[in-house]
Amino acid sequence: MAPSRGTQAIPRDLHVTLNSHKGPVNVARYAKGSAKYILTGGQDRTVRLWNANLGTEIKTFSGHGYEVLSLTVAHDNAKFASSGGDRAVFVWDVATGQTIRRLSGHLGKIHAVEFNEDASVVASGSYDSTVRLWDLRAQARQSIQTLEEARDAVQTLYVGSTYLISGSVDGHVRTYDLRKGELRSDFIGNPVAAVIPTLDSTTYLATSLDNHVRLMDMATGKMLNDFSGHTNESYRCRACFGYGEASVVLGDEKGLIWAWDLLDGKVMPPNPPPKAHHKVITWTEYHPIDAGEFITCSADGTAKVWKERTDHAD
């Protein structure tokens, strides 16, 4: 493979630290749109809204009885959904801070929630190995559909415009194609911690607990690239695409943030990367628009915003 030219290195400068959480921070998501805000969910059962640039906490949402494991923001930034040990999906109104709805039906803690494009459906993947799809327009208590193909806990979800991807501890990545009425399941081999497709929906990135991140072809199920060097054997770590999907960024178990070139598969310098967090990094998310920003949150109780420092240029 030809060596990449000019792939931007990921920002390594700490912009701001968000450390109000008591206990591990399990998830940190960017808001939609211009993504000026960050939502974090922690082991302390709270969800906090922050200003990404200033690093100030804006609001705290309490209501969960158990830890918060996953968050998803609606497209209009007015609502978000959170899930955790309560076995229910909480849908919140951002402005008032109140829970709008509580969707229960799962039998185990919910590891992943995702809204669909217009936030009319929320999908939740749980320890009970099912994925449930809930309708937010109607007031029905039951889920629209339950996907029971997984044999073990569902750790990650992605909801696209016409398909759903779920990754499970049984080692399979299952793509539910609504248009085709098809279920394609790829056996990765080891428990799948995170799944992210590319924007053109031809390939997806699967993080698995064997210290590998694989780029898989959605059509054939073949592996296109393999990224390794990091440590990820026990925790749910998330690999995401960097700016322009030219790189792959992952915060691993040891607290290091790795970056690979997407085409090469080679680790981008610095290698080995400096230690960013004291404990396992539970979530890594790149800014949807900005080239030089991403966030990580960790079990050490902090979420860090990494940004390219612009005053360096002098």
Partner 1 sequence: MSSRLKKKLGDIGVDLTSRRATENFCLIGTPLPPLEKSKDTGEFVPLWKQEVRDEKGRRRLHGAFTGGFSAGYFNTVGSKEGWTPSTFVSSRSDRAKKPASSKPEDFMDEEDLRELNESRKLVSTTEPDSLGSSSHPGAAGGIGLDNDPIAAALASAQHKESPGMKILKKMGWRSGQGIGPRVSLAERKRQDAQAFDPYTGVKSSESALDVASDDEEAGKHKYPRRDTPILTVARKGKSYGLGYTPGLSLNESLGVDSGQKVATGPKISAGFGLGALNDADEDDIDVYDFAATSKARVAFDHLDHVQDDTIVIGKGKGRQSKPFQGPKGPTQVFYDGTPVLPGFTLSDQPVQEDKWYPGPEVPPGWEPDPRRVWNASQSKEKSQPPAATTKGGRPQISAAEVSSHGQLREKECLRFQQRGTILGEESKTRSVFEFMSEKDRERIQRIAAGGAPPGPGAPLTAPPPTSFTMPQVEPHIAKAALQGFQPFTTDPAKQARYTTFLHSQADPNAPPLIPLPGQETEKFHKEVEDYAKSAILFKPMSGAMAGRFTSAAVLDLGPKVHEGLHQPTEEEYVKREEEKRAEEEKNVPPKVHAAKMGMYGPMTRETQPWQPARLLCKRFGVKEPDLPAGQDAMAGEPSQTSFGATSFEKEAAEAAAGAPGTFNAPTESSKISVWEKMRRKERIF
Residues that bind partner 1 in the complex, under the rule CB under 8 A: 116-117, 120-121, 133, 135, 137, 144-145, 161-162, 171, 176-189, 214, 216, 219-223, 226
Q: Which residue's CB is nearer to partner 1, number 217 or number 308?
A: 217
Which residues, 6+ apart, have CB-to-CB distance to 11 below 8 Å? 292, 293, 294, 306, 307, 308, 309
Nearest approach in angstroms of CB 123 to partner 1 is 10
What torsion, rounded to 10 degrees, do the Cα atoms 162, 240, 188, 191 define?
Answer: -110
What share of residues in the chain are helix, strand, coil (percent, to 5)? Answer: 0, 50, 50
Which residues, 6+ apart, have CB-to-CB distance to 283 below 8 Å? 25, 26, 27, 28, 29, 238, 251, 295, 296, 297
3-class state of residue 313 by DSSP: helix
Nearest approach in angstroms of CB 142 to partner 1 is 11
Q: Which residue's CB is nearer to partner 1, number 96 or number 220?
A: 220
3-class state of residue 312 by DSSP: helix
Nearest approach in angstroms of CB 161 to partner 1 is 7
Q: Which residue's CB is nearer to partner 1, number 132 or number 304?
A: 132
Q: Which residue's CB is nearer to partner 1, number 107 or number 178?
A: 178
Q: Are 50 and 302 in contact (CB under 8 A)?
A: no
Q: Which residue's CB is nearer to partner 1, number 100 or number 187?
A: 187
What is the 8-class DSSP label of residue 235? S
Nearest approach in angstroms of CB 114 to partner 1 is 13
Letter for the amino acid at 9?
Answer: A
Nearest approach in angstroms of CB 185 to partner 1 is 5
Measured CA to CA in angstroms, residue 191 lies from 55, 141, 247, 278, 290 at distances of 34, 31, 23, 24, 31
Q: Are 207 and 250 in contact (CB under 8 A)?
A: yes
Of 278, 258, 281, give the one whose Cα is nearest residue 268. Answer: 258
Nearest approach in angstroms of CB 92 to partner 1 is 20
Q: Which residue's CB is nearer to partner 1, number 215 or number 257?
A: 215
Nearest approach in angstroms of CB 187 to partner 1 is 4
Q: Which residue's CB is nearer to partner 1, number 96 or number 120?
A: 120
Q: Are 131 and 170 in contact (CB under 8 A)?
A: no
Q: Are 122 and 79 in contact (CB under 8 A)?
A: no
Q: Which residue's CB is nearer to partner 1, number 47 or number 121?
A: 121
* 135 DSSP β-pair partners: 121
Nearest approach in angstroms of CB 57 to partner 1 is 13
Q: Which residue's CB is nearer to partner 1, number 131 or number 256?
A: 131
| Tokens coding 174 | 């299952």
Nearest approach in angstroms of CB 46 to partner 1 is 12
